[in-house]
Chain A
Amino acid sequence: MADVTHEIAERIPINLVVNGVRRTLDLVPWTTLLDALRDHLALTGTKKGCDHGQCGACTVLVDGRRVNSCLTLAIMKDGAEITTVEGLASDGTLHPLQQAFIDHDAFQCGYCTSGQICSAAGLLAEGRAADADEIRELMSGNLCRCGAYPNIVAAIQQAMGRP
């Protein structure tokens, strides 16, 4: 652990397009994308669960790909398009995944739900899951401690248009 410095870093200006809206932020470099969304942009739909990339509650889409925002430095995503759970509905109409989670009662406490839905949106865009086993495997980065997994899988299957 040589050469550790404790000088205060300068704030760095970055641009993000969050849910279609261009946002400019001045951030210290150690601000995660998760903290930037929640604490700087007041978008608290994205949840902080473990803060270590183990639970998936912080899942958002960066340039269309699902990532753990807790392990992403906001400054590294300067210029990126970010989609959070707040950006999925359009003109007051729920995203098909949001409607499917309601239809299938795919949550209990709800804390993991925005991460589950954003992750599922990434899953649908990837197009790699064709059956329930593949959904379970490719959603394994999203934990639900209430154990709503069967209904989560059913909701995703509905949104995929598969029985």
Chain B
Amino acid sequence: MNNFQYSRAADVADAIRLLAANPGARLIAGGTNLIDLMKENVERPSRLIDISRLPLRKVEETADGGLRIGALVPNSDLAYHPLIEQRYPLLASAILAGASAQLRNMASVGGNLMQRTRCAYFYDTATPCNKRNPGTGCSALDGLNRNHAILGTSASCIATNPSDMSVALAALGALVHIARPSGERTIALTDFHRLPGDTPHVDVNLGAGEIIIAIELPPLGFAQNYSYLKIRDRLSYAFALVSVAAALELEGNAITQARIALGGVAHKPWRSLEAEAALRGQAATVDHFSHAADLLLAGATARAHNGFKIELARRAIVRTLTQAADATPQSQSHKKIA
């Protein structure tokens, strides 16, 4: 770890001020990803601004019947929060599919959105990486790319976003509330993370001096018909090869609303409005789910080792939608896939 200075922010305004005054500084809350990256010399901040004691730990009901979640709510507290368990079980399930109990106790909601790819080349400072050192090239393109993206890739980067929580938030239509020197702004979660394009070093649409202060969930929680299915190399405590968050509103067997988001396959949680529109008004059948999977995976491309992900994703989408329609969501403890 490089030497760094340490400041404890007194409030959000103080944190913004400290960020502006220290261009090489980084915010720290749970630290589970940042400290790891600092130990690897991937992150070398001149100063850490500790925001972990700021009063951003509430889960509050909004006027329209949604929820506002403070950016510093620990992942475990959110997953086990009664209002999340009752109204947004898809989000609870996705959070519990990620990391370990210890890491979920430490990690904040805002930090989860900010976590960086686990691409091995991004971590290995001996190899070129456009995300770590812009302009040096992408080692994964012709390297070991079994874990890498199949959707939304670019010639500069094929890294994936590692978050499970963000996949559920994308499906639920969450908003990100951001504080900045001139006030506050709100952005859709699906617009918060970026595709790599030719600027893969910029993961998210967060400007200088901006801080995530809350996540907002809209009222519709899909609490009846949902499932989060995560496929990985071991049954727990591993990043997704493919994950699927599925949420349906049904009238009888007819789909009135569908949300599907994919993890492990792109630089951001992957949704297709076309696939979701195609399901509306249709019967909840495997044939229709397969068609939606085709639309979600339209344009998917593979490198040397990750072609299996396309068929894996196709089958996982159908399976997860079936679980959602049957109201038999995937258990994150009892691993048999129904």
Interfacial residues, chain A to chain B (CB-CB below 8 A): 1-9, 12, 28-30, 32, 51-53, 56, 59, 65-68, 71-73, 75-76, 119, 122-123, 126, 128, 133-134, 136-142
Contact A76 B31 (CB under 8 A): yes
Interfacial residues, chain B to chain A (CB-CB below 8 A): 1-6, 22-24, 28, 31-32, 35-36, 38-39, 44-48, 50, 52, 76, 80, 99-103, 105-106, 133, 236-237, 332-335
Tell which of B3, B52, B80, B335 has the most Cβ of chain A within 10 Å.
Answer: B3
Residues of B within 8 A of A52 (CB): 36, 39
Contact B28 A30 (CB under 8 A): no
**A/B interface sample: 8 pairs, CB < 8 A:** A3-B22, A30-B2, A30-B38, A65-B105, A67-B102, A123-B101, A128-B80, A140-B236
Residues of B within 8 A of A56 (CB): 100, 102
Known: A3-B46, A52-B39, A71-B36. A66 touches B3 (CB 8 A): no
Majority SS at the chain B contact face: loop
Residues of A within 8 A of B5 (CB): 5, 7, 9, 29
From A67, A72, A76, A141, B237 is in contact (CB under 8 Å) with A141
Contact B106 A72 (CB under 8 A): yes
Residues of B within 8 A of A139 (CB): 101
Residues of B within 8 A of A137 (CB): 236, 332-333, 335
From A5, A8, A72, B46 is in contact (CB under 8 Å) with A5
User: In the complex, A68→B35 CA distance in Å?
Assistant: 11
Contact B100 A71 (CB under 8 A): no
Residues of A within 8 A of B100 (CB): 56, 140-142
Known: A6-B3, A30-B1, A30-B4. A133 touches B334 (CB 8 A): yes
Residues of A within 8 A of B6 (CB): 9, 12, 29, 73, 75
Known: A29-B6, A76-B50, A141-B99. A67 touches B333 (CB 8 A): no
